[in-house]
């Protein structure tokens, strides 16, 4: 596991974008796993800049997003499809048909989730999965207690996640209480994983993920099992880390 501690969010975005761009340039039909939330925004801004100024080409890139709320359309401003279009896809030369976000309006969620897994497999698996982290250690929408072997599934959100995410909605009652999410097992199948975290409210979750016991209580701790994980975190998100294992 590699842990890169950077000064601020802008540096986090630049460092992460370099890693993503290197992968995209090394492989045609690069399969990029994407995350929403405020954390990856600096990464998406930097990728857009690299596209505009340095010709970073998205024309053959394929993307799979981690998750989506249940019960809201992709046209809803708080849906993750809308977020991805606004924050990245609308500003680069990606083929929108090659961008996949779980369908939160699917009539048969179970069937949709199985299809999502097949679509990822048919593309050869995810080459690089970008992740944020919830303040309770969740990745995607895999809340504490989710099986570490889980596949794409429908899940209920914890009260703390609904509260955390309510800042983007008019009122807390508007926040969907269910979501579709890649499972922890799905995430661990990615060739490489890039987790971004910024802000003091993430410091405990980051330390638990990197240095705590591997437990479903902190879903991100499952990343300790993966051979190719990079954490890019800001200084304020690194304050609880001891990093003794790095120094040893």
Contact residues for ligand GLP (CB under 6 A)?
Answer: 35-39, 66-67, 132-134, 140-141, 161, 165
- SS3 of residue 129 by DSSP: strand
Choice between 78 and 147, CB closer to ligand GLP = 78
Check: CB of residue 101 under 8 Å from CB of residue 33: no
* Residue of 85, 76, 44, 65 whose CA lies nearest to 169: 76
Residues recorded for the chain: 248
67 catalytic per annotation: yes
Shortest approach of ligand GLP to residue 52 CB, angstroms? 24
Q: How far is the CB of 11 from ligand GLP (least distance, A)?
A: 16
- If the CB atoms of residues 66 and 210 are measured against ligand GLP, the closer one turns out to be 66
**Catalytic one of 46, 51, 65, 67:** 67
Of 46, 65, 103, 136, which residue is the catalytic one?
Answer: 136
Do the bridges between strand 229-234 and strand 192-197 make them parallel or antiparallel, or are there none, so unpaired? parallel
Nearer Cβ to ligand GLP (150/161)? 161
Closer to ligand GLP by Cβ: residue 25 or 201: 201
Name residues whose C-beta falls within 8 Å of residue 44's C-beta, 6 or more positions apart in sequence: 13, 87, 88
Q: Which of 143, 164, 189, 208 is catalytic?
A: 143
Q: Is 138 a catalytic residue?
A: yes
Least Å from the CB of residue 37 to ligand GLP: 3
Can you tell me the distance from the alpha carbon of 14 to that of 3, in angstroms, rounded to the nearest whole number? Answer: 15
Minimum distance from CB of 199 to ligand GLP (Å)? 7
Q: Spell out the SS3 assignment of 152-207.
A: CEEEECCHHHHHHHHHHCCCHHHCCCEEEECCHHHHHCCCEEEEEECCHHHHHHHH
The reply to whether 170 belongs to the active site is: no
Catalytically active residues, by annotation: 67, 136, 138, 143
């Amino acid at each position: 596991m590699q842990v890169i501690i950077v000064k601020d969010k802008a540096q986090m975005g630049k460092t992460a974008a370099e890693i993503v761009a290197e992968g995209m340039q090394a492989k045609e039909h690069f399969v990029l796993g994407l995350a929403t939330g405020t954390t990856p925004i600096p990464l998406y801004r930097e990728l857009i800049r690299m596209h505009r100024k340095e010709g970073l080409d998205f024309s053959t890139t394929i993307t799979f997003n981690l998750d989506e709320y249940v019960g809201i359309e992709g046209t809803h401003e708080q849906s993750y499809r809308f977020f991805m279009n606004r924050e990245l896809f609308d500003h680069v030369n990606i083929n929108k048909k090659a961008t996949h976000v779980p369908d939160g309006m699917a009539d048969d969620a179970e069937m949709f989730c199985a299809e999502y897994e097949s679509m990822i497999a048919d593309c050869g698996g995810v080459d690089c999965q970008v992740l944020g982290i919830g303040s309770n250690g969740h990745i995607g929408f895999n809340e504490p207690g989710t099986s570490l072997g889980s596949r794409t599934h429908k899940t209920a959100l914890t009260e703390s996640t609904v509260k955390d995410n309510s800042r983007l909605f008019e009122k807390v009652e508007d926040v969907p209480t269910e979501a579709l999410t890649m499972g922890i097992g799905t995430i661990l199948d990615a060739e490489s994983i890039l987790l971004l975290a910024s802000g003091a409210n993430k410091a405990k979750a980051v330390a638990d993920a990197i240095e705590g016991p591997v437990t479903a209580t902190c879903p991100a701790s499952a990343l300790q099992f993966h051979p190719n994980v990079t954490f890019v975190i800001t200084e304020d998100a690194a304050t609880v880390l001891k990093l003794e294992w790095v120094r040893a």
